[in-house]
Copies of this chain bind each other. A is one copy, B any other.
Amino acid sequence: MGALEVKELSKSFDGREILKDISLHVEEGEFVTILGPSGSGKSTLFQLIGGLLNPDHGAISLDDDNITGKRGFISYMPQQPALLPWRTVLDNVILGQELHGTKDKVKAKEMIQKAGLGGYEQAFPEELSGGMKQRVAFIRALLSPQSLICLDEPFSALDDFTRQEMHEWLLSIWSQYKRTILFVTHNIDEALFLSDRILVFSSNPAQIANEFVIPFSRPRKQELLLTEEFLKWKRKISSTIVQNGLGGESDE
């Protein structure tokens, strides 16, 4: 469940090509990360997969069903938490389920607890810090019923301290539930720590410049980040990015 196939996807805005011939696939239960600079079109890709936008060319299929332009087939966590301010944490968290008919408050409470938000079930978003909000949004995505979860830089607003905790926690949850995850980030550490596979985006227009299969064994622990092996991989990916001339002019 949750195998994603993207074929030769292209998308332009106002004549400017943002995505060009993007082909990628994510296998069932795989954790794939797209690493790309800001403005390269990562969120646009998610909007295409989520059916919010229609591609100019190409097709998207999930478990062999064509879902191009169809909504509701993926679970989603946006860049901004987008919590509903009039709902408590608990009610926000079950929103994804609610949209598809089933509510499981017990499980929701459990997950809230696990995310380190125990006691905040009845709090409103305005009472939370930016980081806490992001975590709530993440739990909401995890609780949604779809098999593929698209995470759009979910931890970019968290501090590195908590982010690291969340990484471990995410991996532990993921090992339990084995959902397919497509992750977007611009943080190399994050990508390396979490993924089975990393796709590096070039920009203007975005194409897939490189692909890395990450061999670290699971379960992964925080200490991994501080090993020589990790640093070696980081150098490797960084050099690709420098080679490709990414980074610098990406926004001009």
Tell me the A residues contacting B by CB distance below 8 Å.
36-39, 79, 116-119, 129-132, 156-165, 186-189, 222, 226, 228, 231, 234-235, 238, 241, 246-252
Residues of chain B lying within 8 A (CB to CB) of residue A251 = 116-117, 129, 131-132, 162
Known: A117-B252, A159-B186. 7 other contacts (CB 8 A): A37-B161, A38-B129, A39-B132, A161-B246, A162-B248, A222-B238, A228-B231
What's the minimum C-beta distance from A31 to chain B, rounded to whole angstroms?
19
With beta carbons under 8 angstroms apart, the residue of B38, B162, B252 that contacts A161 is: B38
- With contacts A156-B156, A226-B234 taken as known, whether A249 is within 8 angstroms of B116 at the C-beta atoms is yes
With beta carbons under 8 angstroms apart, the residue of B119, B159, B226, B252 that contacts A235 is: B226
Let me know if A38 and B252 touch, CB within 8 A: no
Q: What are some 27 contacts across the A-B interface (CB < 8 A)?
A: A37-B159, A37-B161, A37-B162, A38-B131, A38-B132, A38-B158, A79-B130, A116-B248, A116-B249, A116-B251, A117-B252, A129-B251, A131-B251, A132-B251, A156-B157, A157-B157, A159-B186, A159-B187, A160-B186, A161-B186, A162-B186, A162-B248, A162-B250, A164-B247, A165-B247, A226-B231, A231-B231
